[in-house]
Chain A
Amino acid sequence: MVCRAARELRDGEVVFVGIGLPNLACNLARHRHAPNLVLIYESGAVGATPERLPVSIGDPSLVQNSLAVCPMTDVFYLYLQGGRIDVGFLQGAQIDRFGNLNTTVVGDYQKPKVRLPGSGGACEIAINAQKVVVIAPQSRRSFPARVDFITSPGHVDGAGARGRRGMPGRGPVMVITDLAVYGFTDGEMTLESLHPGVTLEQVRQNLGWEPRVAAQVATTDPPHAEELRIIREELDPGHLYI
C-alpha cells in the first residue's frame, strides 16, 4: 500500500504531506525515485528532508535542512490556496464511493460512536490541492457507501459537484488500499488494479457498495526489495508506522 502510493509521486512535484501513512509514503518516494520531491508539511516546513521519520508532522527533524520554514498563514494562504501544491496526500478514517473523507466522527456528530481528531488541514488540502491521493486500509466499515461526516470533500455526490462549489482542485484521483488501487470515473471510485493474490470478491466483501470496475483490471506491481529495505532499515526501523 505504502510502496504503491509512493510510486504515484513524480520527481519534482510539490506534495502536501498529511499525517499518518502519507508521511511514510512521501519519504519513501524521496529516498527512492523522487529526490527532488518537495515535501510541505502543515507545520510550515517546505522542502523538508527529515533524517528520522517524523513522529508528528511538527517534528524538529522537518526543520533542519529544509528549504524554508514559514508561518502557517503562509502555508495555507500562499502555498495551498495559492495553487502551489501539485498533490495533496491524505489518509482517511472513512472514505466513500465519491472519495469524501471522514476524520471527524463515526456516528452522529452530537452523539458520536467514535470521536476522531477532526480536520486539521485536511479539509482545505482536499479542496485546494491540484489533485488528491488517498491512502487507507480497506474494510467494509471504513469504506461505507456514504461517510457519516464529510470532513474533507472529495467529489461530494458525483461528477461536477466540485465545480459547482467553486473548489479549485480536481479532488481525489486515486485511492490506494491494502487490497487494491482505485481511480475515479465521473467522480466515483473505480477499481483499477488488485494487489497480487487479492480477488474481486475480497474487494467486494470489504466495500460498502457495489464498485465500478475498469474494463481492464491490472495486478498491482508488488513491493520491490529495495522499497522494503528503505522502509525497514532507513525510514521506520522502530516500526512506528508499519
Chain B
Amino acid sequence: MRDAIARFVNDGDTVVIEGFTHLISFAAGHEIIRQKKRDLVLCRLTPDLVYEQMIGAGCARKLVFSWAGNPGAGPLYGLRRAVEEGVPRPLEIEEYSHFGMVARFAAGAARLPFLPLRSYLGSDLPKVNPLIREVECPYTGERLATVPALNPDVTIVHVQRADAEGNAQIWGLLGVQKEAAFAARDVIVVAEEIVLQSVVRSDPNRTLIPGFIVKAVVHEPFGCHPSFAQGYYDRDNDFYVAWRDIGKDRARFESWLDEWVYGVADRAEYAAKMGERRAALQARVELSAPVNYGY
C-alpha cells in the first residue's frame, strides 16, 4: 500500500476511493493521511467517514459529492467544520445527486464529455452548481439535464479477490466502482485475498475490473473496516455510531488520528490492534449455488 500510494497519488490529484457503503478502502485513505498528501480533490458519492478523516487530516482542498452524512448515524461534524470554519483548512464543495455522480463516472469511463439524465429540472441544485446544465435533445427537442464527465487521476477500489495482475472480482453491492475505475488515469486495486488467475478464470462473470487497466495491486486483509466486505466481515455499525462523538470534537478527532492512523505503521498493525473486535465482525458462511460454465 505504501508504495502504491507513494507512486500513484500526487499532491493536487483528483482522487476517488469508491465503494457504496460496501468495500470502502479505509486502508488507502489512512495511508494517504500518513503520507501527508495535500490539495487533493476528493470525489465520492458518499464522503462517509473515510473522506471526513482525510479532510480532517488536511489532505483535501475540494470535495465533490452527492450525500454527506454518517450513514445511519447522523451528520459528519468534521466535514461541516471544514466547510463552515475552514478547519483544519478551507474546503471547497461541488454538489450533485447520486444519479449525477453515477452519470459523471459513466461519461468519464466512456470518454464522453457529458451524459444526459432525467433529474435536476425543478430542483435548486443547478442554481448552486453551474456544472449541472441542460441540453435540448437533437431528436425529440425535449430538455434534459446534463453532467460533465469525471475522469479522476487515480481511482482506488477494494475488492474481495484479485489475481496478481489485478483482475478483480466483487460480489454484493457493486456501487459505481466499475465506472470509477474505467474513468481513471490510474487504477489501484486493493484486495482482501490474492488468488491464482485460475480462480478468476473459473468464474469470469464475477470480474468487475480487468487487470490490464490496473496499475497497482495491493493485498490488504481487513482493509475496509469500519466498512464491510461481503463474505469476509460485517459493517462495524457500532464504530459508525461512536464516530458521531469523535468527529464532533476536534481534539478527540486528533487523538483518534494519532492512535489509529499515525500510531500504526500499516493496516496489518491496525487490524492486530482491533483484536477481538475484528473476530466479532467475521462473516458467517452463506455460499451461492454453483454454476456450470461447461459447454
- CB atoms of B124 and A69 under 8 A apart: no
Asked if A117 and B67 sit within 8 Å, CB to CB, the answer is: yes
A81 within 8 A of B: yes
Are A45 and B173 within 8 A (Cβ)? yes
Q: In the docked arrangement, what's the CA distance between A167 and B172, Å?
A: 32
Task: Please report the C-alpha to C-alpha distance between residue A64 and residue B99 in the assembled complex, in whole angstroms.
Answer: 24
For the complex, is A151 an interface residue (Cβ under 8 Å from B)?
Answer: yes
In contact, A119 and B66 (Cβ under 8 angstroms): yes
Given A60-B22, A63-B230, CB of A73 within 8 Å of CB of B179: yes
Q: How near does chain B come to A49, taking the closest CB pair, in angstroms? A: 13
Bound-state CA distance A52–B183 (Å) is 35
B121 adjacent to A127 (CB under 8 Å): yes
Q: Which of B99, B121, B175 contacts A165 (CB 8 A)?
A: B121
Q: What mask results when residues 84 to 114 of chain B are scored 1 for a CB within 8 Å of chain A, else 0?
A: 1000000000011111001100100000000
Answer yes or no: B142 CB below 8 A from chain A CBs.
Answer: yes
Q: What CA separation (Å) do A45 and B118 show in the bound complex?
A: 21
Does B255 belong to the interface (CB within 8 Å)?
Answer: no
B125 interfacial by beta-carbon distance below 8 Å: yes
Q: Is B275 in the interface zone, CB < 8 Å from A?
A: no
Q: A153, B122: Cβ atoms under 8 Å? A: yes
Tell me whether B174 and A58 are in contact (CB under 8 A). no
Report the separation of the CA atoms of residues A109 and B73 in the bound assembly, to the nearest whole angstrom.
23
* Residue interface bits B110-144, CB-to-A below 8 A is 1, else 0: 00000001111111110010000000000000111
Among A42, A44, A122, A123, which residue has the most Cβ atoms of chain B within 10 A? A123
User: Quick check: A118 and B118 within 8 Å, CB to CB?
Assistant: no
Give the residue of B71, B83, B95, B97 whose beta carbon is less than 8 angstroms from that of A56. B71
Identify A123's interface contact among B123, B142, B228, CB under 8 A: B123
Residues of B within 8 A of A56 (CB): 21, 71-72, 235, 237, 240
The residue on B at minimum CB distance from A241 is B72
How many inter-chain contacts with C-beta < 8 Å in the A-B complex? Answer: 166
Query: Which one of A121, A128, A161, A165 has the greatest number of beta carbons of chain B within 10 Å?
Result: A121
Given A55-B237, A60-B235, A117-B68: A127 and B118 interface contact (C-beta under 8 Å)? yes
Complexed CA–CA distance, A76 and B102 (Å)? 8
Asked, given contacts A56-B72, A58-B71, A120-B67, whether A167 binds B173 with beta carbons under 8 Å apart, the answer is no
Q: Decide yes or no: A166 and B20 within 8 Å by CB, A44-B174, A80-B99 being known contacts.
A: no
CA A236 – CA B117 in complex, angstroms?
37
A109, B83: Cα distance in complex, Å: 12
Q: Is B286 close to A, CB under 8 A?
A: yes
Q: Are the CB atoms of B20 and A115 closer together than 8 Å?
A: no
Which A residues lie within 8 Å of B142 (CB)?
166
Expressed in whole angstroms, the Cα–Cα distance for A77 and B179 within the complex equals 14
Contacts of B125 in A (CB 8 A): 104, 119, 123, 151
Q: Shortest beta-carbon distance, B43 to chain A, in Å?
A: 14
Q: How far is it, in angstroms, between the C-alpha of A72 and the C-alpha of B128 when the chains are bound?
A: 25
Also in contact, A166 and B71, with CB within 8 A (given A115-B80, A121-B99, A124-B119): no
Specify which chain B residues have a CB less than 8 angstroms from the CB of A221 in the assembled complex. Answer: none
Alpha-carbon gap, A63 to B125, bound state (A) = 31
| Chain A interface main SS type | loop
With A55-B240, A64-B286, A117-B75 in contact, is A44–B173 under 8 Å at CB?
yes
Which A positions have Cβ atoms within 8 angstroms of B? Answer: 19, 42-45, 54-60, 62-64, 69-73, 76-77, 80-81, 104, 109, 112, 115-124, 127-128, 149-153, 156, 161-162, 165-168, 240
Other A-B pairs, 19, CB within 8 Å; known A44-B173, A56-B71, A149-B124: A44-B175, A59-B235, A60-B172, A71-B179, A76-B103, A76-B117, A77-B102, A104-B95, A104-B124, A109-B124, A115-B84, A118-B95, A119-B95, A119-B97, A123-B120, A123-B125, A165-B122, A167-B118, A167-B121
Nearest first, the 7 A-B pairs at minimum CB distance are: A58-B21, A153-B122, A56-B71, A117-B69, A120-B67, A119-B97, A55-B72
29 A–B pairs (Cβ distance < 8 Å), ordered by A: A43-B22, A43-B173, A56-B21, A56-B240, A57-B71, A58-B22, A60-B173, A72-B45, A72-B102, A72-B174, A76-B102, A76-B117, A81-B99, A81-B117, A104-B124, A115-B84, A118-B67, A118-B69, A118-B97, A121-B98, A123-B97, A123-B99, A124-B98, A128-B118, A149-B124, A153-B122, A161-B122, A165-B143, A168-B118
